[in-house]
Amino acid sequence: MKKWITMMALITVVATAGCANTSTSSNGNSNANANSGTNEQTDNASGNAGGGKAVEITFWGDWAGDGQKQFQTMVDAFNKSQDKIHVKYMLQQDLITKFLTAATSGGAPDVLLWDRWRTPLYAPKNVLHPIDDFMTQDGLNKDDFYGEALKELTNSDKLYGLPLTVDARALFYNKKLLNDAGVTQPPTTWDELEQAAIKTTKWNGSKLEVAGFSLGDNGLFNMYLQQAGGQMLTEDGKTNFNNEKGLAVLDFWNRMLNDDKVYKVGFEQGLGEGTDAFATGKVAMTYNGPWMLSTYKKYGKDLDFGVVPPPAGPNGDKGGVMGGFGLVIPEASKHQAEAWEFIKWWTANKDNALMWAKTSLNIPGYKPALDDPFFQDDPLYKPFLDTLEFAKVRPSHPGYSVMETEALIPNLELYQQKKQNAEDTLKKAQQRGDQQLADNEDVK
């Protein structure tokens, strides 16, 4: 997850989770910063109901605020479920830096919240413990988990953790704005998306009052590229967007921005801090994740919204990017077997995965839990579950995140600002991106 660095972050009424290479907040998606908090959660679970001394293990994460309470709920439930192991959640700011220091100097945690995209970057450093033997020992079926999420936790054919959450972007739409504009059905294709955006956009002279569609997140280029029939990297680890597929994405953006004028660069930022453009009716359609469902539901009748999977590209190709978190065991843990018992209890048990879902409103990585009415009877979850069936994780190349954030995104920003054309944008991103991939290919 998260966890997608954007040209303009959506300013929302609550802190939402964010991009894979940022710290995380209460809901755990991979795109915003964690709330501040203390360095250690007060432990109020006995964890030793049956007498005797339980093995104490530590669980490190960087979810603060509501996320910290959600984690503590699961920790307390585990501690009360048995008397052999006692888990203590410890909130850590700057989680990765502290973990890497502890991995070599002592004091490493036993369980670690893990933004899955980091696996190819850190697994080769031998700081994570593979769980393949544990999986075999307990007869866990990998098919019970999202395959793409397991793929993101795998390096050199070794599995390093189990998925805690899965997420993907889907299209949120304001039903009233679409109905008032005569759009009777939410869009399912790029063409329908463009036409609906044109009809719902409102200008007052030179002032944009309602944007038909948000184009404020160019970090979603990967998703659009899949919809155009492309992919970010070649099989041999080079960029793969400086081609007709990449041009199709930029041409689509250009039509929406400059011909149709359904959006204006900087529009959402200009609404002021704390203003959610979709929630306040300033944007008719936007891409967002399941972590926003609870927030938007709180608006009740003031925000009648729906969700559909991402519209398909010009040739019918579907595209989505799966993000999310996992739980891993550090190689330096002194209680790896006990850590595994906690991870297995949480992520590989239907009842406990469902308890986690109801506690955090995240989609768990354990697929059997999704058969519950909690998900099946809520029509707003279905578009995300449908999207997760075809969504792909980001490429596992260790230099991918650097390539995206330092080569691709800056050039996309220049393109949206009309400071360079599409051909130069993709060419420069390719040249810089291939160099970044080559420089970061070998993890040391």
pLDDT digits (tens, 9 = 90+) for 376-392: 999 999 999 999 999 99
> Length of the chain in residues, anyone?
444
Architecture of domain 55-167+323-388: 3-Layer(aba) Sandwich (3.40)
Residue 66 CA to residue 74 CA, distance in Å, equals 13
8-state DSSP, 14: S
Identify the bridge partners of residue 207 per DSSP, sorted by sequence position.
204
pLDDT per position as a tens digit, 178-219: 999 999 999 999 999 999 999 999 999 999 999 999 999 999
8-state DSSP, 331: T
Beta carbons of 306 and 90 less than 8 angstroms apart: no
Residue 269 phi, psi (nearest 5): -65, -35
Helix (H) or strand (E) holding 171: strand 170-174
The answer on pLDDT for 96 being more than 50 is yes
Q: Do domains 55-167+323-388 and 174-308 have the same CATH topology?
A: yes
Residue 145 phi, psi (nearest 5): -115, 155
Q: How confident is the model at residue 443 (pLDDT cuts 50, 70, 90)?
A: confident
Please, what CATH class does the domain formed by 174-308 belong to? Answer: alpha beta
Q: How confident is the model at residue 36 (pLDDT cuts 50, 70, 90)?
A: very low
DSSP 379-431: TTTHHHHHHHTT-BPPP--TTHHHHIIIIIHHHHHHHHTTSS-HHHHHHHHHH
pLDDT at 274: 74
Residue 234 CB-density burial (10 A; 0-12 exposed, 13-18 middle, 19+ buried): exposed
Residue 158 CA to residue 148 CA, distance in Å, equals 14
pLDDT per position as a tens digit, 149-173: 999 999 999 999 999 999 999 999 9
Identify the bridge partners of residue 285 per DSSP, sorted by sequence position.
173
Higher-confidence residue: 300 or 234? 234
pLDDT per position as a tens digit, 397-421: 999 999 999 999 999 999 999 999 9
How many angstroms separate the most distant Cα atoms in the chain? 75
Domain extent listing, the chain: 55-167+323-388, 174-308, 400-439
The structure's pTM equals 0.85
Query: From the centroid of its chain, how far is CA 42?
Result: 28
Beta carbons of 356 and 362 less than 8 angstroms apart: yes
pLDDT per position as a tens digit, 285-316: 999 999 999 899 999 889 999 999 999 999 99
Closest alpha carbon to 218 in 421, 29, 7, 11: 7
- Sheet containing 161-163: give its strands across: 85-91, 55-61, 111-115, 325-328, 161-163
Residue 365's Cβ-side half-sphere holds a number of Cα atoms within 13 Å equal to: 33
Q: Which residue has the tokens 């839990």?
A: 369
Q: How confident is the model at residue 51 (pLDDT cuts 50, 70, 90)?
A: low
Closest alpha carbon to 209 in 308, 259, 284: 284
